[in-house]
């Protein structure tokens, strides 16, 4: 999916939130062994599996399409899928099976997908798949992924129950509570929790502050504010450690800064090699709102620089760098896919079954309210 504003991505995704899969790939005939190709694919562990017989037949499944070199929002959508997987809990690999299929099989070898899966804390039951170009094309075409270029691929996911024949799309860029519930509803045995349970575990209401909304939808999947490294670095104090102009330029076009050899951008990319900072298409006003939010959240944490400066001195003494350089290389590998500070952690405590779950290490996302 090409870079565009987060708001544009949300609007496009919302349009297909509860969309049944349309006549081109829809329900005019059943999605069974006569519809799906049974072509061989390779898992991230190098195991050969047949698409229909081994992955689809009789199962409730979640399928999305990714590629590891994606410069746009693949990383963000994968991190948000990681939150859905986390909320589904031990159902994943038992009742529900999740598949992320590479659209760039020439590049995405099993070993590369294995590293990508590890970056998002993918548990057993979430399988990453590659294969020959011909086989991948057969599978994606049947699942409605018919974009002509990598940059235009869909960011939603196909969900279905092969036993009942129910298939549809759901969004990864809208409410993740809704997306998780959509998956659970495919199981005829699943019973929605009582309304009171949902109320008891409901996320706090997000304010109308623009920066908070941007952070939750675009950053919270991969970053925290003051709660440690997730998929990307902790953003606590980032507006104190980085010059304003650098942050504005990096948020506007991280790939351009990397291409220009900006030393901090290169360091971030090196420190988080398996997940790229996406180009989210943020405008000047968006960036200002987001930075204001990060500043306000840092202020609420107290004085983050005390620990930062202590660690920076240690780093500088070890490497012979200046204190400022130590700040850059020790503490902020600001990769931005998103972060769980206030917003993400609020939603991390809520699941559609009315129970809280902890996150897998290095993965997670905030649901949008």
Residue ranges for the known binding site for Cu cation are 70, 74
Strand order in the sheet with 40-43: 48-50, 40-43, 126-130, 96-102, 60-66, 157-161, 166-170
Q: Which of 233, 239, 215 is nearest to 332 (CA)?
A: 233
- DSSP letters, 198-251, are HHHTPPPPP-S-HHHHHHHHHTTTT--SSS--SSS---TTHHHHS-HHHHHHHH
Q: Residues annotated in the binding site, as ranges? A: 70, 74
CB 128 within 8 A of CB 43: yes
By three-state DSSP, how is residue 60 classified?
Answer: strand
User: CB of 77 within 8 A of CB of 85?
Assistant: no
Element holding 159 (H helix, E strand)? strand 157-161
The residue count for the chain: 369
| 3 state DSSP class of 127 | strand
**6-15 vs 210-218: helix crossing angle, rounded to 10:** 70
The first and second tokens of residue 297, run together, are 């959240």
Q: How far apart are the C-alpha atoms of 303 and 299, rounded to whole Å?
A: 7
Alpha carbons 103 and 87: distance in angstroms, whole number: 26
Q: Tokens at residue 57, please? A: 């037949």
Could you give the CA distance from residue 260 to residue 255 in angstroms, rounded to a whole number? 9
């Amino acid at each position: 999916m090409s870079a565009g504003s987060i708001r544009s991505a949300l609007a496009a995704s919302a349009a297909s939130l509860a969309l049944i899969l349309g006549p081109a790939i829809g329900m005019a005939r059943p999605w069974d062994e006569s519809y799906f190709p049974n072509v061989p694919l390779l898992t991230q562990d190098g195991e050969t599996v047949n698409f229909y017989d081994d992955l689809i037949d009789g199962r409730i499944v979640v399928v999305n399409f990714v590629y590891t070199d994606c410069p746009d929002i693949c990383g963000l959508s994968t991190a948000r899928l990681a939150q859905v997987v986390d909320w589904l809990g031990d159902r994943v690999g038992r009742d529900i099976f999740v598949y992320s299929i590479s659209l760039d099989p020439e590049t995405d070898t099993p070993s590369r997908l294995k590293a990508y899966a590890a970056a998002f804390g993918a548990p057993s039951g979430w399988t990453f798949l590659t294969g020959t170009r011909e086989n991948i094309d057969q599978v994606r075409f049947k699942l409605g992924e018919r974009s002509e270029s990598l940059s235009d691929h869909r960011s939603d996911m196909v969900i279905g129950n092969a036993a009942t024949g129910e298939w549809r799309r759901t969004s990864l860029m809208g409410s993740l509570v809704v997306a998780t519930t959509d998956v659970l509803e495919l199981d005829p045995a699943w019973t929605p929790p009582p309304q009171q349970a949902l109320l008891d575990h409901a996320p706090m209401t997000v304010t109308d502050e623009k920066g908070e909304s941007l952070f939750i939808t675009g950053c919270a999947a991969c970053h925290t504010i003051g709660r440690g490294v997730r998929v990307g670095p902790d953003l606590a104090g980032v507006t104190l450690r980085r010059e304003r102009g650098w942050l504005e330029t990096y948020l506007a076009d991280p790939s351009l800064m990397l291409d220009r050899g900006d030393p901090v951008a290169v360091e971030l990319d090196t420190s988080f090699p398996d997940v790229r900072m996406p180009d989210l298409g943020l405008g000047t006003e968006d960036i200002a709102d987001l930075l204001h939010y990060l500043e306000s959240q840092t202020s609420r944490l107290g004085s983050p620089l005390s620990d930062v400066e202590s660690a920076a001195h240690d780093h500088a003494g070890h490497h012979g760098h200046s204190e400022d350089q130590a700040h850059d290389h020790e503490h902020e590998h600001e990769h931005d896919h998103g972060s769980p500070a206030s917003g993400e952690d609020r939603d991390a405590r809520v699941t559609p079954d009315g129970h809280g779950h902890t996150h897998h290490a290095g993965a997670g996302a905030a649901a949008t309210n």
